[in-house]
Amino acid sequence: MNVLVLNCGSSSVKYQLIEADTQKWLAKGGIERIGMSGATLKNIRHDGDEITIAGEIVDHIVAIEYILAVLLSRNHGVINDKSDIHAIGHRVVHGGETFSSSVLITDEVIKSIRENFEIAPLHNPHNLRGINACQVNLPGTPQVAVFDTAFHQQMPRKAFLYGLPYSLYSQYKIRRYGFHGASHRYVSERVAMLMNTELKQLKLITCHLGNGCSMAAINDGISVDTTMGFTPLEGLLMGTRSGDIDPSIILYIMGKEGITLAEANTLLNKHSGLQGISGVSSDMREIVQEMKNGDKKAKYAFDVFCYRIKKYIGSYAAAMGGLDAVVFTGGIGENSVDVRKDCCDGMAYFGIRIDDAVNESKEKEKLISTADSKTKVFVIPTNEELVIAVDTKTIVQTKQ
């Protein structure tokens, strides 16, 4: 079954066409700058053929038209007919408390995704635009929603409730949701395979470190706690997001500088994190480079980033009453030798010992802890698209 996997943002669409039975991708790419001048589509075919097309891509409907055109094209395509796309799998950010697993998209599901606009205004509207664009371009093709929040829906109440009046939870559903669910799920399943152990018998901490960063404590295959909260702002330091702060700080700054709610939102989401502390960049590669060149603020940013991960490793091991393995994934987790080393440094009392040579080796998927390390440490490239493709196939086949 060929599944078109889509991740629709406000001005971008990322896609992969995956042959779900063999788990191989046929083509992948992305569109940037939808609705702006200079919009482009970049497509990579499984055999390495690459093409970039510029065009007037005014909205998500046109974006899907462009994707279909390249997938069908004689010179760069991989399919002969639209009907060769058997199903579509969408990454949908917020499933609220309604969805604890992936679902076939129906009118009812669309209504629920819309109901969650209020708690996910930056993501759900664009995800839904992608769903509507597929209804227009590929009418009748089954569509499945895979939610970022679903994997964390079994978290116990003591982990998801905030110390706020309970009525705010009952009335507005203010609670911890957690995100990056497909990634935490993928790497936890993969690490169980690599350890040759049932996922249900493992206590894991998964660290998804990309532009957005989150960690999850996974006990018996269930996410029992995670660092992102009501929104993806909480927890770890990120590229441009603050992660954990004392909430009073924002009230204090609003009083001092008279900033508006929208400006406060931008401050926390766009001008903080690695970028905010360093003043150099939100990109970990540049932070490490500048730190090594002696830039003090880049070093502060790097230290805060790693310290917070280390702190959460300790607290999640305490929460689960033990720890079998830590997994690093995402652009930083998969590639930054320095971040992995710093996060695991001085953790021998915790049973964590890193083998520096393996940590520095070029292999993508690897065990980087030493043979005598009680807690194993892995690097596993994430594959959220594959999770979406496999869920989509399973759901569509059971409904047929």
**Nearest approach, Cβ of 287 to ligand ADP (angstroms)?**
8
Among 67, 70, 103, 284, interactor with ligand ADP by CB under 6 A? 284
Other Cβ atoms less than 10 A from the Cβ of 299: the count is 17
- Span near ligand ADP by CB under 6 A; candidates 22-30, 87-95, 167-175, 283-291: 283-291
> Which residue, 175 or 184, is less far from ligand ADP as judged by CB?
184
- Span near ligand ADP by CB under 6 A; candidates 185-193, 197-205, 281-289, 341-349: 281-289
Please report, as a single letter, which amino acid is at residue 273: G
Helix (H) or strand (E) holding 188: helix 181-194
- Binding to ligand ADP by residue 211, rule CB under 6 A? yes
- Binding to ligand ADP by residue 342, rule CB under 6 A? no
> Which residue, 301 or 317, is less far from ligand ADP as judged by CB?
301
Catalytic (active-site) positions: 148
Among 41, 331, 340, 368, interactor with ligand ADP by CB under 6 A? 331
- Binding to ligand ADP by residue 206, rule CB under 6 A? no
- Binding to ligand ADP by residue 215, rule CB under 6 A? no
Among 212, 229, 232, 235, interactor with ligand ADP by CB under 6 A? 212
Give the single-character DSSP code of 385: H
Rounded CA gap, 308 and 326, in Å? Answer: 15
- Choose among 6, 26, 3, 14: nearest CA to 389: 3
- Span near ligand ADP by CB under 6 A; candidates 56-64, 107-115, 134-142, 209-217: 209-217
**Nearest approach, Cβ of 288 to ligand ADP (angstroms)?**
6
Rounded CA gap, 72 and 68, in Å? Answer: 6
**Nearest approach, Cβ of 212 to ligand ADP (angstroms)?**
5
Residues 235 to 264 in contact with ligand ADP, rule: CB under 6 A: 239
- Binding to ligand ADP by residue 332, rule CB under 6 A? yes
The backbone region for 122, taken as left when phi is positive above 0, alpha when psi lies in -120 to 50, beta otherwise, is alpha
Question: Tokens 């152990």 map to which residue?
Answer: 197
Question: Tokens 């001048």 map to which residue?
Answer: 37
Residue 10: helix, strand or coil by DSSP?
coil
Sign of dihedral through CA atoms 92, 98, 100, 104?
A: negative
- Span near ligand ADP by CB under 6 A; candidates 43-51, 163-171, 210-218, 389-397: 210-218
Among 285, 296, 364, 374, interactor with ligand ADP by CB under 6 A? 285
Q: Compute the radius of gyration of the chain from its Cα atoms.
A: 21
Rounded CA gap, 317 and 11, in Å? Answer: 39
Among 336, 373, 375, 392, interactor with ligand ADP by CB under 6 A? 336
- Span near ligand ADP by CB under 6 A; candidates 33-41, 208-216, 290-298, 364-372: 208-216
Question: Tokens 């009335």 map to which residue?
Answer: 171
Give the single-character DSSP code of 15: E
- Binding to ligand ADP by residue 77, rule CB under 6 A? no
- Choose among 244, 249, 248, 250: nearest CA to 263: 250
Among 223, 330, 347, 373, interactor with ligand ADP by CB under 6 A? 330
Contact status, residue 273 vs residue 237, Cβ threshold 8 Å: yes
**Nearest approach, Cβ of 211 to ligand ADP (angstroms)?**
4
DSSP assignment of 66-89 equals HHHHHHH-TTT-S-SSGGG--EEE
Binding residues for ligand ADP, how many (CB under 6 A)? 12
Contact status, residue 78 vs residue 3, Cβ threshold 8 Å: no
Site residues for ligand ADP per CB under 6 A: 210-212, 239, 283-285, 330-332, 335-336
